[in-house]
Structure 1
Amino acid sequence: MDASVIVVGAGPSGLMLAGELRLAGIDVIVLERLPGRTGESRGIGFTARTMEVFDQRGLLPRFGDLETGTFAHFGGVPLDLGVLGPGHLAARNIPQSTTETVLEAWARDLGADIRRGREFLSLKDLGDSVEVRVRGASGERVLHSRYLVGCDGGRSGVRRAAGFDFPGTAATTELLLADIRGADIEQRMISDRVSGGMVMTADLGNGIHRIIISEHGAPPRRRTEPPAFTEVADAWKRLTGGDISHAEPVWVSAFGDAARQVTEYRRGRVILAGDSAHVHLPAGGQGMNTSIQDSVNLGWKLAAVLRGTAPAELLDTYHAERHEVGRRLLLNTRAQSLLILGGDEVQPLRGILAELTAYEDVARHLAAKAGGLDIRYDVGGGGHPLLGLRMPRLELDGPVRPTSSTALLRAGRGVLLDLEDNAHLRRRAAAWSDRIDIVTARPATVPEDGPLADTGGVLLRPDGHVAWAAPGSHHDLHTALTRWFGPAR
């Protein structure tokens, strides 16, 4: 084997997966067609859940000072993440190129082998390994790995080569995007409509503004290269009457509202993550964030199977959990597409939705969806209100120093959190201590009406989701440990 895992694509999902695998000691090669980062930046922010995920791995300081807030939207209808309680922040105006720079440095620091200028050509699933043919500057070469993961975007070559079904709806319209410098642009939210279409702007800092334009009736086009900036400037003038032709284009692109998802996230030794598995209108920046979370869900499971501590069936839970997340994501973004791209006919619907968000339950539901905080996996057992959900940050008074439930996940391992200094609980988990960290700590504060009230122990998966909690779980600790971490040592 050239590596245990070959990842195709050095975007956010591929780099996040490489880092997750290296945290678990798995050797990984990342193949990227482009010789260097382009500076293109489709994603420009993190949802509240992605902020938590990065915090779990200690990555937030690498981004420097982040511009954070509680603002979100659903199809242009404003939402306040503050309704979910304190600490639920989203980050904005972080170019995707910055995210890739941070994740690549992290993955390289951990020992990932990232090879640029390598174009994926074909694959053969040999049953116990995968043969991958690539082309680089010195010609074609064949590599072998135990698993191949396609993180190569919406036009994934891995997806096509492996024969994944990719049903859904084709694009019905085209949107133009440009990051420009040297123009005085009025801030416009998605809810600000213009005659004949929709325009949106965002101040990215450093004198750069992003504009997105959708003209009603503009058909989708099969482009082989980005649109010329003159095309964007002309559309802007038609819709707003303003002239931006003098501006300097930093990046110009076009995209559509296609909505597709593969029917399976794994076929034998070939796995898909990120946009390779699902494409949709990038409403609310959910695409990049969902892709990163795909990789966090997959990484520890793939590592456990490769190390032999868990059976291959653990990988079935990657499809079961993330395919459902992707399905709901497409429903979410298609609903938002109607609100964002529709004309006057959707104004009554937008008005009703704005009225509904005045009700706290509705606001909480939509805010959790926009923030990526509504995901609950079927972990078995039932009974405790946190089972399957991500663990909310809990400040802890440890035996040595204060810590938090989030900081305990930095190593990418499972965590059994003993909140009552229960020696019997720790003994029951001792046979899994090669795979999980057993930590005794007291909560600094626990709200009496919160989900952790009267909770004596919590088992966290490496992705931060709660796999068992006591009292309340119908399954015992042994069952939960075996299901998610394999048989006892």
Structure 2
Amino acid sequence: MRGVIVAGGGPVGMLLAAELGRQGVPTTVVEKLTETHDEPRAGTLHARTAQSLLRRGYLPAPPRPRDPHAVVEVPFHFGGRPVLTLESPAIEGAPMIGQAQSDIERFFEAQARARGVEILRGHRITGVRDDGSHVTVTTDHGELTAAYVVGCDGARSTVREAAGITGTTHPATFAGILGLARLGDPARVPGGWTHGPTGWTLINVNPAGHSRILTHEFTEPLPERGAPVTLEDLRAAASRILGHDVPMADPVFLGRFSDFTRLADTYRRGRLLLAGDAAHVHAPLGGQGLNLGLQDAVNLGWKLAMVVAGTAPETLLDTYHAERHPVAEAVIENTRAQAALMRPGPEFEPLRALVADLLSTPDGNRLLSDRISAQGVRYGDGPGLDGTFLPNLPVGEQSVAQLLPPGRPVLLLGPGTHDLTDVAARWKDAVDAVAHEEDLGAPAILLRPDGYVAWSGQDADHATAALTRWFGPR
């Protein structure tokens, strides 16, 4: 019997599989597509995603800045307007990395295969049943069994339906079309975000080839979800928004989207779990959906691996929903706020001006930058560093990020923590202990494989309680 079956082989499913494979968990990915499709969808890795992938060993370490307190900034948008600047510490690298979603999927698939993960492409899941001691997955090629199944199978998740997990929804307020086509008169088409009487366009103009064209229209009635889309639909929408005819031809991709939202009420039911779009869908504003899903996979991967290996209690899986559900709620809130700001009409101009003024202040910009990039995420409100993301500080000859690729928690023991040596030895099967002389913000830090602090302090009894809570008694 397998340890885990991952339903869905998109970027989220492949990253989760790679994480499980690195820990030696027998894992199978079941994906209906026979190969990755190149589609002009998400193409941005935000700061916390890049920082997390750095700690998991998937990205190279950035060069050390001369000023350890330096900040890197890149211009960005909020609600279609260039009023936001994304920020990240220079020791972590750039706050944004451009990379096509299809390339991300291929990369993680290669990582998963290299670690022994079985990938069944061209297999469609038709049923999922939690049998109590294991899960049975029925496909059009036969049955598979595993200790756990994770649904990374998108907005119409079979796993979510099989688990009977309900969701909280908000109806769409705009209709979007995404297309890749040749513009007939590219010189007359504005690049970037453009506001018009019925909505917005976002166009990456390519005079010599296919341009990426997105339209967002607030005119009702909105088309049904899943309604077919034609090149004429895209051309007409772009023409209405821009106020003149926008000829286009030779489409190689056409698809619909909207700001419809759904958030699963729970991310786990028994041996069935959800990640990515199976757990949450929202408007693709700010490129946050892919990042939200990848961070789900990083959060869940080490927990599921430890539970399957028996080095942590099953209750550890309950922290997955407790930590990731509020993060998805916050993303949905800011994408809904962006959609509200994008509504056409002069009555919304004062609101847009007010938001622009607020984002021109350092505190306002930093607040929203941290929300879009997920750098404001903190798991819980414990004392000290508990729940925070530990910066990539030096630790002896290494850095924080260089300690984590093995996928094991690390107990960082600074000066004056000799009393914790015996405590650390009791959990040596699950936790690595690293002594150091640096000031990392607390005498001792229990660091999770995803870079977040599980506990900080100095008291041996408190350390024992924290290790027991996370990884069970010894």
Query: Structure 2, unaligned stretches of length 5 or more?
Result: 62-71
Query: 8 Å contact 2:51–2:92 — kept in the other structure?
Result: no
1:433 aligns with 2:434: no
In the TM superposition, residue 166 of structure 1 has moved relative to its aligned partner by 1.7
Match of 2:78 among 74, 79, 84: 74
Query: 8 Å contact 2:173–2:218 — kept in the other structure?
Result: no
- The answer for the alignment partner of 1:231 in structure 2 is 233
Structure 1 residues 203 and 481: alpha-carbon distance in aligned structure 2, compared to 1, 3 A threshold: farther
**CA root-mean-square deviation:** 2.6
- The answer for the alignment partner of 1:56 in structure 2 is 55
In the TM superposition, residue 341 of structure 1 has moved relative to its aligned partner by 3.9
Match of 1:352 among 345, 351, 354: 354
Query: 8 Å contact 1:213–1:236 — kept in the other structure?
Result: yes
Q: Classify the secondary structure of the residue corresponding to 1:54.
A: helix
In the TM superposition, residue 19 of structure 1 has moved relative to its aligned partner by 1.1
Query: Structure 1, unaligned stretches of length 5 or more?
Result: 63-67, 447-451
Give TM-score scaled by structure 2 length.
0.90
For 2:172, the aligned partner's letter is A
Match of 1:467 among 430, 451, 454: 454
Q: Deviations over 1:356-391 (max 9, x none)?
A: 123222221111101111111127xx321x210111
Alpha-carbon distance between aligned partners in 2 of 1:205 and 1:305, rounded to the nearest angstrom:
53
Give TM-score scaled by structure 1 length.
0.87
For 1:107, the aligned partner's letter is A
Out of 422-431 and 287-296, give the one that drifted further: 422-431
Q: Classify the secondary structure of the residue corresponding to 1:284.
A: coil
Structure 1 segment 297-446 matched on structure 2, within 5 A: 297-378=299-380, 382-384=382-384, 386-396=385-395, 398=396, 402-420=397-415, 422-443=417-438
Alpha-carbon distance between aligned partners in 1 of 2:204 and 2:414, rounded to the nearest angstrom:
45
- The answer for the alignment partner of 1:115 in structure 2 is 120
In the TM superposition, residue 244 of structure 1 has moved relative to its aligned partner by 5.1
Q: Classify the secondary structure of the residue corresponding to 1:250.
A: strand
Match of 1:215 among 200, 217, 229: 217
- The answer for the alignment partner of 1:155 in structure 2 is 156
- The answer for the alignment partner of 2:64 in structure 1 is none
Alpha-carbon distance between aligned partners in 2 of 1:271 and 1:205, rounded to the nearest angstrom:
45
Alpha-carbon distance between aligned partners in 2 of 1:404 and 1:80, rounded to the nearest angstrom:
27
In the TM superposition, residue 419 of structure 1 has moved relative to its aligned partner by 3.1
In the TM superposition, residue 469 of structure 1 has moved relative to its aligned partner by 1.7
Structure 1 segment 139-288 matched on structure 2, within 5 A: 140-181=141-182, 184=186, 188-190=191-193, 192-202=194-204, 208-222=210-224, 227-241=229-243, 245-288=247-290
Query: 8 Å contact 1:4–1:146 — kept in the other structure?
Result: yes
For 1:71, the aligned partner's letter is P
In the TM superposition, residue 81 of structure 1 has moved relative to its aligned partner by 2.5
Query: 8 Å contact 1:309–1:487 — kept in the other structure?
Result: no
In the TM superposition, residue 416 of structure 1 has moved relative to its aligned partner by 1.4
Out of 14-23 and 170-179, give the one that drifted further: 170-179
Out of 227-236 and 325-334, give the one that drifted further: 227-236
Alpha-carbon distance between aligned partners in 2 of 1:204 and 1:69, rounded to the nearest angstrom:
26
In the TM superposition, residue 247 of structure 1 has moved relative to its aligned partner by 4.6
Q: Classify the secondary structure of the residue corresponding to 1:81.
A: strand
Alpha-carbon distance between aligned partners in 2 of 1:366 and 1:418, rounded to the nearest angstrom:
34
Q: Deviations over 1:105-161 (max 9, x none)?
A: 1111111111100111011111111111101xxxx4111111111101111121112
Alpha-carbon distance between aligned partners in 2 of 1:205 and 1:391, rounded to the nearest angstrom:
45
Query: 8 Å contact 1:34–1:118 — kept in the other structure?
Result: yes
Structure 1 residues 118 and 83: alpha-carbon distance in aligned structure 2, compared to 1, 3 A threshold: closer
Structure 1 segment 78-117 matched on structure 2, within 5 A: 78-82=83-87, 87=92, 89-117=94-122
Aligned length: 461
Q: Classify the secondary structure of the residue corresponding to 1:60.
A: coil
Query: 8 Å contact 2:153–2:278 — kept in the other structure?
Result: yes
In the TM superposition, residue 428 of structure 1 has moved relative to its aligned partner by 2.0
